[in-house]
Amino acid sequence: MENLTSFLPFIAIIIIFYFFMIRPQQKRQKEEKNFSENLKKGDRVITKSGMHGKIVDFSEKLNTVIIETGAGKITFEKSSISSELSKQLNTTTPKEN
């Protein structure tokens, strides 16, 4: 019985670590994956580096997306598009056609 009570603090730390560190990260990764899978032509996006643009085309073979910006068309990896910033952009400003 004493052995079990001596391990309770370690078990509690592991449980707390799971709920405050691991689980939120898994949830964020799942949301990011769903966001990148649901991208479509015409969506306005922001890359993680801060580049704003509109999706023009996809390359599923290379897992890239072509974004039209003020400087022209640029190819980015799908993983470089920020879901948080893009969602914020689309909720605060109306879409241009």
- Read off the pLDDT of each residue in 84-93 and give the average, rounded to a whole number: 80
The residues pairing with 69 across neighbouring beta strands, listed in sequence order, are 72
Mean pLDDT of 55-67: 90
* Pair 53, 63: CB distance under 8 Å: no
Mean pLDDT of 91-97: 64
Residue 95 has pLDDT above 60, yes or no: no
Query: Mean pLDDT throughout 14-36?
Result: 92
| pTM score, whole prediction | 0.69
First-to-last C-alpha distance (Å) of the chain = 69
Q: Residues near 69 by Cβ (< 8 Å), separated by ≥ 6?
A: 51, 52, 53
Decide if pLDDT at 97 tops 80.
Answer: no
- pLDDT above 70 for 94: no
Please, what is the average pLDDT of the chain?
A: 88
Task: Classify burial at 42, counting beta carbons within 10 Å of its beta carbon; exposed 0-12, middle 13-18, buried 19 or more.
Answer: exposed
The answer to whether 45 and 53 have CB atoms below 8 angstroms apart is yes
